[in-house]
């Protein structure tokens, strides 16, 4: 039995004060720092590149949880690992050779994750589930922060948890999008054990306390 993890999403941080925002995360109860990498093709936005990631690596004391919302992610896996990524998550929608991409991530020594958009069914990762360290269930349409949680996600979480339990796997279930104190408990009850929180942390008057509150929810929840 382990407690759930909290991964603040840097996408919601104040970009003019990234050094201070990272130090805030360092001093908090956060477990990982979630970094969304966008290419303007797979999603309609562009975010962090390698120079920024390298600077983050130098300052951040938490594992970097890097979410690649990009096309052809297999071309860049080694570079993201070299720039500090400890967890690398790709989208099933962008990987025609998903098993090979997962093995490529693992070959770098990073943990391998696969993300599912809100419309993508769990069946899409049925045949690679045993190879994954993490499944990221998107609870908003990817590309922008501050969106409202799609509550149909809870049904998907329950289905995913059942499949993981049946296989007796240690796979993390991560949820990203619209996560906050108002719905975190229900998300955990539905099967998640990693909460990605952006606006609910960095837009809070007291971000460290917001992280602490997210960590304290469902403290005795049994994780898969």
CATH of the domain at 46: 3.20.20.70
Return the pLDDT at 224: 35
Residue 65 annotated among the catalytic residues of the structure: no
- Conformational region of residue 164, where left means phi above 0, alpha means psi within -120 to 50, and beta covers everything else: alpha
- Which residues lie closer than 8 Å to 60 by C-beta, 6 or more apart? 22, 25, 26, 33, 84
Return the pLDDT at 145: 67
Which DSSP letter does residue 15 get? G
Beta strand extents in 49-202 (DSSP E only): 64-69, 85-91, 111-116, 134-138, 172-176, 194-197
* Domain presence at residue 135: yes
Residue 176 annotated among the catalytic residues of the structure: yes
Prediction pTM value = 0.94
Return the pLDDT at 150: 94
Domain that holds residue 23: 5-216
Count of beta carbons in the 10 Å neighbourhood of residue 137:
26
* Domain presence at residue 221: no
Q: Which residue in 19, 82, 176, 206 is the catalytic one?
A: 176
* Domain presence at residue 223: no
C-alpha to C-alpha distance for 187 and 1, rounded to whole angstroms:
17
- How many separate domains does the chain show? 1
* Domain presence at residue 64: yes
Which DSSP letter does residue 206 get? S
Per-residue pLDDT in tens (0 to 9) along the chain, 224 residues: 358 999 999 999 999 999 999 999 999 999 999 999 999 999 989 999 999 999 999 999 999 999 999 999 999 999 999 999 999 999 999 999 999 999 999 999 999 999 999 999 999 999 999 999 999 999 999 877 667 899 999 999 999 999 999 999 999 999 999 999 999 999 999 999 999 999 999 999 999 999 999 999 975 543 43
Q: Which residue in 31, 36, 39, 133 is the catalytic one?
A: 36
């Amino acid at each position: 039995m382990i407690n759930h993890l909290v991964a603040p999403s840097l996408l919601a941080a104040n970009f003019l004060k990234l050094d201070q925002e990272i130090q805030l995360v360092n001093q908090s109860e956060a477990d990982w720092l979630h970094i969304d990498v966008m290419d303007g093709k797979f999603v309609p936005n562009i975010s962090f590149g390698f120079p920024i990631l390298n600077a983050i690596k130098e300052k951040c004391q938490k594992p970097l949880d890097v979410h690649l919302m990009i096309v052809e992610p297999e071309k860049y896996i080694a570079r993201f690992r070299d720039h500090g990524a400890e967890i690398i998550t790709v989208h099933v929608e962008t990987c025609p050779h998903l098993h090979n991409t997962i093995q490529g991530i693992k070959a770098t020594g990073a943990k391998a994750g696969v993300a599912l958009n809100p419309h993508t069914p769990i069946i899409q990762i049925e045949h690679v589930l045993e190879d994954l360290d993490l499944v990221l269930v998107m609870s908003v349409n990817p590309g922008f922060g501050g969106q409202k949680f799609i509550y149909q996600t809870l049904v998907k979480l329950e289905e995913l948890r059942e499949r993981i339990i049946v296989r007796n796997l240690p796979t993390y279930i991560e949820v990203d999008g619209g996560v906050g104190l108002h719905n975190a408990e229900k998300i955990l009850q539905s099967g998640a054990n990693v909460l990605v929180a952006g606006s609910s942390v960095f837009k809070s008057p007291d971000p460290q306390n917001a992280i602490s509150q997210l960590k304290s929810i469902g403290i005795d929840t049994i994780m898969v």
